[in-house]
């Protein structure tokens, strides 16, 4: 299964499609639970049409989840260390992120489920670029959120190209 190694034990695959590129989608769970607080580094923006998304600050974005059941934090995506470019370039080590919590506008507290989609380039391209971390060499990531209280969806909250 093509999923970054840090997520393998939390990722439950829903679908995969192998064409020119490989696309893998799934939900994130912890403790057999899909209820999380969402912690973000980046700019949360709302478009004129109401679409809410996490946008790149001048230096990158990070999405972490905190399990509502056990409190464990799971880093879903970090543009400083994850993705295709980070497999062929030097990783940037940043630990002093100022996270903000994401809340559904209708509630004072969060209870969010998370779907992640990874797109991977063809295996031959990874071989040609001498990439050894194939599971982390995704070229695109989409993260969608859903409020478990009111079922409001935030499709493509993260839509990020890593190559």
CA atoms of 132 and 88, how far apart (whole Å): 9
**At 3, phi and psi to the nearest 5?**
-150, 140
* Predicted pLDDT of residue 1: 52
The pTM of this model reads: 0.93
* Predicted pLDDT of residue 94: 66
* Predicted pLDDT of residue 96: 77
Query: Are 140 and 160 spatial neighbours (Cβ–Cβ below 8 Å)?
Result: yes
- Give the tokens for residue 13: 């695959």
**Secondary structure (DSSP) of 65-124:** EEETTT--EEEEEETTT-SHHHHHSPPP-------EEE--TT-SS--EEEEEEEEE--HH
**At 8, phi and psi to the nearest 5?**
-55, -40
For the chain, 163 residues long, give each residue's pLDDT as a single digit of tens.
589 999 999 999 998 888 889 999 999 999 999 999 999 999 999 988 888 999 987 778 999 999 999 999 999 999 988 999 888 776 666 667 889 999 887 777 789 999 999 999 998 998 898 888 899 999 999 999 999 999 999 999 999 999 8
Query: Are 109 and 101 spatial neighbours (Cβ–Cβ below 8 Å)?
Result: no
Query: Are 145 and 154 spatial neighbours (Cβ–Cβ below 8 Å)?
Result: yes
* Predicted pLDDT of residue 79: 92
| 3 state SS of 127 | helix
* Predicted pLDDT of residue 48: 87
């Amino acid at each position: 299964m093509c999923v970054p190694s840090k997520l393998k034990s939390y990722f439950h695959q829903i679908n995969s499609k192998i064409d020119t590129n490989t696309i893998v989608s799934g939900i994130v769970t912890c403790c057999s639970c899909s209820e999380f607080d969402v912690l973000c580094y980046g700019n949360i923006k709302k478009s004129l049409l109401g679409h809410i998304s996490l946008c790149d600050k001048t230096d990158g974005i990070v999405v972490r989840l905190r399990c509502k059941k056990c409190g464990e934090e799971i880093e879903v995506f970090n543009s400083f260390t994850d993705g295709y470019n980070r497999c062929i370039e030097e990783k940037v080590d940043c630990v002093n992120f100022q996270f903000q919590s994401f809340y559904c506008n209708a509630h004072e507290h969060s209870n969010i489920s998370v779907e992640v989609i990874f797109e991977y380039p063809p295996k031959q391209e990874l071989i040609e670029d001498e990439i050894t971390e194939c599971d982390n060499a995704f070229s695109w990531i989409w993260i969608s959120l859903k409020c478990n209280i009111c079922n409001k969806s935030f499709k493509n909250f993260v839509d990020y190209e890593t190559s």
